[in-house]
Amino acid sequence: MTVPVCRVAMISLHTSPLAQPGTGDAGGLNVYVLETARRLARRGIEVEIFTRTTASAQEPLAVPEPGLNIRHIVAGPFEGLQKLDLPGQLCAFAAGVMREGARRPEGHFDVIHSHYWLSGQVGWLAADRWHVPLVHTMHTMARVKNAHLGEGDSPEPPGREIGEVQVVEAADALVANTAQEARELIELYAADPAKIEIVTPGVDLEVFAPGDRAAARETVGLAADDVLLLFVGRIQPLKAPDVVVKAAARLVRADPDLAGRLRVVILGGASGNGAGHPEALRDLADGLGLGERVVFTPPTSRALLAQWYRAADVVVVPSYSESFGLVAIEACACGTPVVAADVGGLPDAVGPGGVLVRGHDPGVWAGVLADLLADPARRAELGRRGAQHAQNFGWETTVDRLIAVYERAMVEHAPVPFDAQQTPAGAPTAVQP
């Protein structure tokens, strides 16, 4: 038996789906939430996303397209609030969500889908109040990140670990990006395997697709013979952009002919621990003698990002931890080979479209990159195979699986009546006259 899902409440507390990916705390989670919500709405399923107000100019309600509402909830200062400060705003945010829910008739939402542990804490409360199932996606996990800390990174606080354990226990269904993440939920958080559904994230195959490389290079201002290593993502220790810079320095020292043609583009903004030292990566590049060979470019539109992918010789993803790796699958979809760390979900994202590297030794990375840059035929073959691989990861496939998860959770969710919840075990129940 299936029950059709008509209305979904999504909760994305710590970052708005409308924020530019690559800035602040915005990244793959934002892309995931917005892309899935849009496609659910286009299928006639109403979606309301609850997120925190982060600017005084933000309207309380944004409607990107019919059937999709983004509700901004006031909780704490609009600007300047760091992610580590957000647990202190859980009560204020939850109260705002509860007020919005009270304006709707009983049973308005069919399911809640929370993203990241902070949202899960609020989703847990809302699901209990609205008597609907809670579906939760972790996106990242403290115990995984703490086991793979980057150089100069700080561990996630114990409070986050406790909060994640609570959400894992409370959720009716847990959406894991990959089989690896499903194992981590079971092994590190004692998650019930029966709750876990593997739903791989997607890529917009209309935007990210192979194209004219020469035209792409002209668009982004590269010469025909430039050799481009591209890093896309937030500049923070977790993403390890320093590995790209250090490896590039070794490439230049080993091959003087490459020195005049190599370009390393860091496309993203400072975030997390990296925000405290925004010039650290530039200082590193200068100290290694790379100078103007390393170019810092702010986050950009998806259309221009696709041009950067097409223009690159190699896209480098050296992260210490990734639940999936949207950058890797976007690059693959554009037909560009990827060199990525062999961690988390990156093996699934890269597939046959690149090379996986164990560890973060810049010397090892330099060797892998040198071999690939010296072999145009291999790069072309990896790009072709990667583009084919990406065809299996369209967002429509992701949404197909999410709808199935929602419908299953709705069928299996059996909320305990309020009176029964208040009756202590073994106590007599009231007898109707």
Residue list, annotated binding site: 14, 20-21, 25-30, 83, 116, 140, 160, 234, 239, 309-310, 312, 322, 330, 336
Eight-class DSSP state of 203? B
241, 265 in Cβ contact below 8 A?
no
**What is the percent of the chain with per-residue pLDDT over 90, rounded to a whole number?**
80
Confidence of residue 1 (pLDDT cuts 50, 70, 90): low
Q: What is the pLDDT of residue 28?
A: 83
Tell me the per-residue pLDDT of 57-78, one tens digit each, with 9 for 90 and over.
Answer: 889 999 999 999 999 999 999 8
11: β partners: 50, 114
Tokens 């559904």 — which residue?
A: 197
Q: What is the pLDDT of residue 256?
A: 85
Q: What is the pLDDT of residue 276?
A: 47
Exposure b/e, 196-205, CB count within 10 A at least 16 = b: bbbbbbbbbb
Q: What is the pLDDT of residue 419?
A: 46
Check pLDDT > 50 for residue 424: no
The bridge status of strand 354-357 relative to strand 7-12 is: unpaired
Q: What is the pLDDT of residue 259?
A: 85
Q: What is the pLDDT of residue 347?
A: 97
The per-residue pLDDT of the chain, averaged, comes to 91
61, 69 in Cβ contact below 8 A?
yes
Taking every pair of Cα atoms in the chain, the longest distance, rounded to a whole number of angstroms, is: 94
Check pLDDT > 90 for residue 423: no
Confidence of residue 278 (pLDDT cuts 50, 70, 90): low
Q: Using DSSP, state whether 175 is helix, strand or coil.
A: strand
17, 65, 114, 365 from 62: Cα distances, Å? 11, 9, 19, 44
Helices 376-390, 362-373: crossing angle, 10 deg rounding: 100
Q: What is the pLDDT of residue 56?
A: 85
Domains of the chain: 7-202+395-415 (3.40.50.2000), 213-392 (3.40.50.2000)
302, 204 in Cβ contact below 8 A?
yes
Q: What is the pLDDT of residue 83?
A: 79
Residue list, annotated binding site for Mg(2+): 309-310, 312, 336
Residue, of 277 and 244, whose pLDDT is higher: 244
Taking residues 302-321, what's their average pLDDT? Answer: 97
| Euclidean distance between CA atoms 154 and 145, whole angstroms | 10
Residue list, annotated binding site for 1D-myo-inositol 3-phosphate: 14, 25-30, 83, 116, 140, 160
Q: What is the pLDDT of residue 431?
A: 36
Residue list, annotated binding site for UDP-N-acetyl-alpha-D-glucosamine: 20-21, 28, 234, 239, 322, 330
Return the closest-CA partner of residue 268 out of 306, 231, 303.
Answer: 231
Tell me the per-residue pLDDT of 121-163, one tens digit each, with 9 for 90 and over.
Answer: 999 999 999 999 999 999 999 999 999 887 778 899 999 999 9
Check pLDDT > 70 for residue 23: no
Tell me the per-residue pLDDT of 75-116, one tens digit each, with 9 for 90 and over.
Answer: 999 877 777 889 999 999 999 999 999 999 999 999 999 999
- At position 232, the amino acid (one-letter code) is V
Tell me the per-residue pLDDT of 314-330, one tens digit each, with 9 for 90 and over.
Answer: 999 999 999 999 999 99
Tell me the per-residue pLDDT of 252-277, one tens digit each, with 9 for 90 and over.
Answer: 999 988 888 999 999 998 765 544 46
Taking residues 359-381, what's their average pLDDT? Answer: 97
Q: What is the pLDDT of residue 277?
A: 61
Tell me the per-residue pLDDT of 24-49, one tens digit each, with 9 for 90 and over.
Answer: 677 789 999 999 999 999 999 999 99
pTM: 0.90
Tell me the per-residue pLDDT of 187-215, one tens digit each, with 9 for 90 and over.
Answer: 999 999 999 999 999 999 999 999 999 99
Confidence of residue 18 (pLDDT cuts 50, 70, 90): confident
Tell me the per-residue pLDDT of 380-394, one tens digit each, with 9 for 90 and over.
Answer: 999 999 999 999 999
Cβ partners under 8 Å of residue 120, min gap 6: 11, 114, 134, 136, 138, 163, 164, 167, 170, 171
Tell me the per-residue pLDDT of 403-416, one tens digit each, with 9 for 90 and over.
Answer: 999 999 999 986 54
**Tokens standing for residue 266:** 């860091």
